[in-house]
Structure 1
Amino acid sequence: GCFIASTGFLPSTFTMTALTAATAAMLHGRIGLTILLAVIGVVWGWCVAGAAFIPLAVFVLFSGHLPARIAALIGALIATGVPLLIADRVAYGRWTASLWNFVKYNVVGGGDSALYGVESPTFYLRNGIINLQMALPLALVSPILLAFAGMRVARHRLLLELNDRNEASKGTFWPNATGCDYFVTQRVGAGEYVDGSEYLDDYEKTHGFEYFANWVIPGRLMQGRYPYIEPSRCKSREEARKKLKTIVDAGIDTFVCLQDELPSQHDMPEEVLGFGAYKAPAIEFAGDSTPLEFYHFPIVDLNIPDTSVLRAALAELQQLLLRGRRVYLHCWGGRGRAGTIASTLLMQAYGLEAAEALERVQRSFSTRHDNVPLSPETEEQRALVRAFVRFDL
């Protein structure tokens, strides 16, 4: 039904396309475009289908900045209404408003419904089955399912404290969907749950690390810059050795490199493009008692990973954490590629939603006071996180 309707030259088809585009704009956070597309669908399309845009209108109202939203709505109405009036003037030879005439005839009264034929009330159900098929029963039961889901989330809200499984817990451990029995805990204080943002504020005070790296999961997963000699910020061997030793002394025993511009540490010569190989000095600092592991998942700088690379990286990182390894996840600056993989890992392994994962990575990254404020660094990388769907690993 929807597939066939998409090719039909009908007002409802135009409105359906506008609704789809408006929904996509909303999901990408482009509220102004959402308003414009919704108005286009109603004014230039099929105005009686305006009810379908009500959920978008509610979202817009509660998204903040109401004066700006109203201004955008007025602008969209003018931008669509004026051309429509001019088109009506040309078509009918006089000033009239076809949109209002349609509403007056069909909604306000005065029209004869028999013009379109007479159907029983079951027409809408039959028409819905034809057009929506399996989506219709799912839509009908969704309010009930969402109510139960909301009750469950309210009772077992997994806030943002991610801890070492060997660290004394201050709350009750909740295993996540993949069976990992560590990290996601529910903090309890004075009989009440601690708000996630308050915990992150406390995190910033207590878990800051260094200017070049930050803990995403304290004691478990660190996100940072290239850990040794690099072209921009760390050019001296003495400073590089100090930085690398700080990382190893923090308990890191696994290095995961995301740089496409470099070979694996296993194959890297002493220096490539101004980057110094760190495998040998890291092993030196760790000593014989701590065997180190090195992994490489190449991603082009300022870009997003291929699906195969993302899947492989998340699968390996999840296994590393299950094995109890302490991971240093890095690209060059430790912002874009590292932030992207860290965010999707929080979603894949611990079931966080995209907004929570992005907030977690951003707030922990901000403890570094980097000259670039965002992690993940580019809008394309953040969009990947928002669109990410967990792999079946």
Structure 2
Amino acid sequence: VAFLDLELASGSTPGPTHRSYWVVEGRFAAGAYPGKAGRGDLEHAPDVIAELLSVGIDCFINLTEDEPGGGDSHLTRYDDDVSASAIIDRHPIVDVSIPAVDQLARILDATDEHLAAGHNVYAHCWGGIGRTGTLVGCWMVRHDLVAPSDAIHVLEQLRRGDRGAGHRRSPETTQQRDFVGAWAAGQ
């Protein structure tokens, strides 16, 4: 039996925003930083946040280093726009890198705990491609929804729902893709 009887979304299902996709329709979405419209083009956060909140997202797994002094500190923080209606769970990973195995296991544990508690999760990094793709690929493998060797292909299918960047390679780097391919069910 799948984790919480969750099933992967259809790759043809549009994500809740222009730069996102459903992993599990209605429960788990992933994509770009919710305060950013496109590379170098910052958007007013409440517009994207409103779209996510309107579909029931009430937990944000933030993989960026958007804290002051962090590698992603240039991003427009959205905390004030969601603090009254959603949880923000920060797990910073350096851009275009991979986390330590135990760090990603903790992020997967947190994601699972939020889903098990009934929260609807939005996982994101900056572009929604590298760090986010790594998390989603490993999450699918962890729950035996895909074999490690199929995770990248299935992720590509899911990412078709990202109308803005679904055509881009995810995870972004060979190191990130290899990391997903080496993940094990139950890990």
Structure 1 length-normalised TM: 0.43
Question: Is 1:357 aligned with 2:180?
Answer: no
Relative to its length, the structure with more helix (as a share) is 1
- Post-superposition Cα deviations, 1:321-353, rounded to whole Å, max 9, x if no partner, equal 112211010000000100000010111124421
Q: In the superposition, relative to structure 1, how do residues 351 and 280 fare at CA in structure 2: closer, same or farther (>3 Å)?
A: same
The aligned amino acid for 2:88 is F
Match of 2:66 among 240, 262, 274: 262
**1:215 Cα deviation after fit:** 0.7
3-state SS in 2 of match to 1:247: helix
Cα–Cα, structure 1 residues 386 and 371, in superposed 2: closer, same or farther, change >3 Å?
closer
Give the gaps of 5 or more residues in structure 2: none
Query: Which residue is equivalent to 1:232?
Result: 39
Q: Choose from 155, 179, 183 the match for 1:384.
A: 179
Query: Alignment partner for residue 278 of structure 1, among 60, 78, 82?
Result: 78
* Greater relative contact order, per chain length (Cα 8 Å cut-off, separation 6+): 2
Matched, 1:367 2:161: yes
**Alignment map for 1:267-346 (pairs within 5 Å):** 273-283=73-83, 286=85, 292-346=86-140
Q: Cα distance, 1:229 vs. partner?
A: 4.5
Q: C-alpha separation between the residues in 1 aligned to 2:123 and 2:166?
A: 19
Alignment RMSD, CA only?
Answer: 2.5
Equivalence for 2:56:
251
Structure 2 CA distance for aligned equivalents of residues 231 and 241 of structure 1: 15
> How far has the Cα of 1:294 moved from its partner?
1.2
Aligned residues: 183
TM-score (norm 2): 0.85
Structure 1 residue 319, shift from structure 2 partner: 1.5
Q: Distance in 2 between matches of 1:310 and 1:297?
A: 9
The 8 Å contact of residues 298 and 309 in structure 1, kept in 2 or not, is answered as no
Structure 1: distance between partners of 2:98 and 2:117: 27
> Residues 22 and 30 of structure 2 are in contact (CA less than 8 Å); yes or no, is this contact kept in structure 1?
yes
Distance in 1 separating the partners of 2:37 and 2:76: 7
What is the distance in 1 between the residues matched to 2:73 and 2:6? 37
CA deviation digits over 1:229-274, x for unaligned, max 9? 578354242xx32111111111100001111x323xxxx69xx733
In the TM superposition, structure 1's runs of 4+ consecutive aligned residues that sit over 6 Å from their partners are: none
Answer yes or no: is the 8 Å Cα contact 1:258–1:298 preserved in 2: yes
Percent identical pairs in the alignment equals 25
Cross-structure match for 2:26: 219
Q: Contact 1:304/1:337 (CA < 8 Å) preserved in 2? A: yes
**Bigger Cα Rg:** 1
Cα displacement (A) at 1:367 = 2.7
Deviation per CA, 1:90-141: give whole Å up to 9, x if none. Answer: xxxxxxxxxxxxxxxxxxxxxxxxxxxxxxxxxxxxxxxxxxxxxxxxxxxx
On the 8 A contact 1:221/1:328 being kept in 2, the answer is yes
- Counterpart-to-counterpart distance in 2, 1:359 and 1:371: 13
CA distance, structure 1, for counterparts of residue 33 and residue 75 of structure 2: 8
